[in-house]
Amino acid sequence: MTLLRLDPDRALPADPSLRPLARRLYKTTCDLPLICMHGHVDVATLAEDRPFANPAELLVMPDHYVTRMLASQGVGLDQLGLTRRDGRPRHDGGAVETDPRAVWRLFCNGWRLFRGTPSRYWLEQELVEILGVDLRPSAETADEIYDAIAAKLAEADFQPRRLLDRFRIELLATTDSASCDLADHHRLRSEGFGDRVVPTFRPDALVHLTTSDWVNQVRRLGASADIETDSYDGYLDALRRQRETFVAAGALASDHGHLAVDTTLLPHATAAAIFRDARAGKVDVASANAFAGHMLHVMAEMSCDDGLVMQVHPGVLRDYDSDVHRTFGSDNGFDIPVAIEFTRALRPVLDRFGHDPRLRLVLFTVDESTYSRELAPLAGAYPAVKLGAPWWYLDSPDGMRRFRELVTETAGFYNTSGFVDDTRAFLSIPARHDLARRIDAGYLARLVAEHRLEEDEAVETAIDLAYRIPLDSYRRPHVPLEP
């Protein structure tokens, strides 16, 4: 049985002319509070503040990075305990796995699959730093580690709200369906967490007309906003009202997942007609796409009014695998990127609001070819545009390094958004922020060592990237840091 260790210099550059410098820079940011402007932690976790159930439900099942990798080697999602919606037997004839220890064993047995991945990096830090595990996961050690974690989870210190303190999370934005009633957020606010845990307005299910649940979602929107949504005008009014409700609940941003980022505005009558057709269940794909692009533009208009920062996450074919989607539902790791175009697609919105101080557009991509070609030039020219942190498949050591290398020379540091952890795995938040700070320290160290930046500037930039820039990007006022 091999020991699990965390080296204090992990993810810093190995080059001896860079490492001591990177270490000094990292030391200036490692203890700063965490600003989590975009994540997918379920708000109920914090509202209910219940202890975590067991190691598998904490670390394996909700993390599609982990389940996807195991699936890629032939482990069935049902073997990992993911709920089937169809009641069919497992592919090997058995029942869906309900024993969390069995799920945990599969995970530990597959530990070598994660070599070189950020999941491995995050999990290692979670196991050692948060859970006190010092054994490398394997078939042999699975049970011992399971028991150790289970014991930890029973401690009072491990309730979610306590972890919020322990993790030094100053601000956590969750992602919330635009049609929801924000009950959990209201509860958190009433219990004193209103400035610390805020919602994010996500209207995807309301603007993509061909999603199966659309009619129902529009009805829910109407109910939440208390506005009739049978007509396009009512739908717009309800969206506006619901945005106000989110703002009142502390929301700083909206979040938009689109396949493309077309922002062509349709004539009002055309949009209304497409809406009507969709209500009647007879919308075609082209009209649905045009409507989605139109609504992205409309959301920019609304943002100019209510100040919500727009986050755009495009370029991913969601629910790519028909069978996985049908059987297990969305967000199971089978969303696959496609090439994406920003320059032409964003022109309608940028031509209207690109210099408007009321609009703030944070652009994310999983297509790295757009970093230097489109996103850095746009963020480096338009005050309304910020370049979002490396997202999803790219929030990894080398992915984040490439991001800085590909965008900084055109966009600088101050047109980027700051780090976004984008995780469903609550325990991974500190490791993700810590890793980003290490990678930025390494990049800045190189600039200093190559005499392209002075060390005092690098220190200021490192702190800005870790703390001030994310707050500024999302227009959250902040008090000056202690020196």
User: What burial letters (b/e) apply to 458-481, b meaning 16+ CB within 10 Å?
Assistant: bbebbbbbbbbbbbbbbebeeeee
Long-range contacts of 80-85 (CB under 8 A, 24+ apart): 80/106, 80/107, 81/56, 81/57, 82/328, 82/332, 83/328, 84/327, 84/328, 85/326, 85/327, 85/328, 85/329
Nearer to a copy of itself, 190 or 456 (CB): 456
Stretch that binds a copy of itself, among 55-63, 283-291, 306-314, 380-388 (CB under 8 A): 380-388
Q: For residues 364 and 387, what is the distance between their CA atoms, to the nearest angstrom?
A: 7
Nearest residue to 32 (alpha-carbon basis) of 466, 472, 469 = 466
Nearer to a copy of itself, 115 or 282 (CB): 115
Q: How far is the CB of 423 from a copy of itself (least distance, A)?
A: 15
Among 144, 454, 475, 481, binds a copy of itself (CB under 8 A): 454
Q: For residues 147 and 131, what is the distance between their CA atoms, to the nearest angstrom?
A: 11
Q: Under the criterion CB under 8 A, does residue 93 sit at the interface with a copy of itself?
A: no
Q: Under the criterion CB under 8 A, does residue 140 sit at the interface with a copy of itself?
A: no
Partners of residue 53 on adjacent β-strands: none
Burial of 126 (0-12, 13-18, 19+ CB in 10 A): buried
Q: Which of residues 27-86 bind a copy of itself (CB under 8 A)?
A: 68-69, 71-74
Q: How far is the CB of 359 from a copy of itself (least distance, A)?
A: 12
Contacts with a copy of itself, 6-25, as mask; x by CB under 8 A: xx-xxxxxxxxxxx------
Nearer to a copy of itself, 152 or 478 (CB): 478
Nearer to a copy of itself, 54 or 119 (CB): 119
User: What burial letters (b/e) apply to 365-392, b meaning 16+ CB within 10 Å?
Assistant: bbbbebbebbbbbbbbebebbbbbbbbb
Among 26, 107, 121, 158, binds a copy of itself (CB under 8 A): 121
Q: How far is the CB of 336 from a copy of itself (least distance, A)?
A: 5
Q: How far is the CB of 65 from a copy of itself (least distance, A)?
A: 9
Nearer to a copy of itself, 242 or 332 (CB): 332
Q: How far is the CB of 328 from a copy of itself (least distance, A)?
A: 12
Stretch that binds a copy of itself, among 162-170, 171-179, 189-197, 388-396 (CB under 8 A): 388-396
Nearer to a copy of itself, 223 or 317 (CB): 317
**Half-sphere exposure at residue 121, Cβ-oriented, CA atoms within 13 angstroms:** 22
Q: Under the criterion CB under 8 A, does residue 178 sit at the interface with a copy of itself?
A: no
How many chain residues are in contact with a copy of itself, going by CB under 8 A?
A: 97
Q: Under the criterion CB under 8 A, does residue 347 sit at the interface with a copy of itself?
A: yes
Nearer to a copy of itself, 225 or 359 (CB): 359
Q: Under the criterion CB under 8 A, does residue 405 sit at the interface with a copy of itself?
A: yes
Burial of 165 (0-12, 13-18, 19+ CB in 10 A): exposed
Q: Under the criterion CB under 8 A, does residue 115 sit at the interface with a copy of itself?
A: yes
Q: How many CB atoms neighbour CB 264 within 10 A?
A: 14
Among 230, 398, 475, 481, binds a copy of itself (CB under 8 A): 398
User: What burial letters (b/e) apply to 230-254, b meaning 16+ CB within 10 Å?
Assistant: eebebbbbbbbbbbbbbbebbbbbb
Q: Under the criterion CB under 8 A, does residue 397 sit at the interface with a copy of itself?
A: yes
Q: Under the criterion CB under 8 A, does residue 410 sit at the interface with a copy of itself?
A: yes
Q: Which of residues 349-378 bind a copy of itself (CB under 8 A)?
A: 350-351, 354-355, 357, 366-369, 372-374, 376-378
Q: For residues 13 and 439, what is the distance between their CA atoms, to the nearest angstrom?
A: 8
CB 246 within 8 A of CB 259: no
Q: For residues 362 and 384, what is the distance between their CA atoms, to the nearest angstrom?
A: 8
Sheet containing 361-363, strands listed edge to edge, beginning at the edge strand earlier in sequence: 176-177, 201-202, 253-256, 309-312, 361-363, 385-387
Q: Under the criterion CB under 8 A, does residue 137 sit at the interface with a copy of itself?
A: no
Contacts with a copy of itself, 301-340, as mask; x by CB under 8 A: ----------------x--xxxx---------xx-xxxx-
Q: Under the criterion CB under 8 A, does residue 420 sit at the interface with a copy of itself?
A: no
